[in-house]
Amino acid sequence: MTRVFSVVVLKKMAKSATTRKESLLASVTRRWQEHGLGWRKVATVAAAVVAMGLGYHVMFGQNGLTAYEQKRQEARALNRQLQSLQRENELLKNHVDRLQSDPNAIEHQAREELHYTRPGEVIYTMPDAPGKPAKTP
């Protein structure tokens, strides 16, 4: 008996909710008609609002066009940096190869960095120009 009662109550509640929805819809429709608004005008305005929101999201959203352009510029800068580092790496490899195989390169490096001399040579060190800090070997 209780089950039958609850089913009847639920049906009445559902019917009253449907009636409330219909009355609310009828009320809104009546107000739109009073102000000269039809379904088409309301739908057009709603579609325009949705289109504007979508356009804004496409331009300025998390993965929008502005973020895409920023990422492209960042990728270009990183590619330039990568190419520069690859050139520098190649130069350093060539320098290492020369130092490992060419005795003249080894001698040049030792003379320049360590101030080595051959027997009978003299190194003269000139003072730096005024205003410049002195280099320490």
* Average pLDDT, rounded, for the chain: 81
**pLDDT at position 8, please?**
59
Domain borders along the chain are 77-116
Does the pTM of the predicted model rise above 0.85?
no
Give the span between the Cα atoms of 12 and 10, in whole angstroms. Answer: 5
What secondary structure does DSSP assign to 36-63, as a single string? T--HHHHHHHHHHHHHHHHHHHHHHSTT
| Contacting residues for 110 by C-beta, under 8 A, at least 6 apart | 116
**pLDDT at position 59, please?**
86
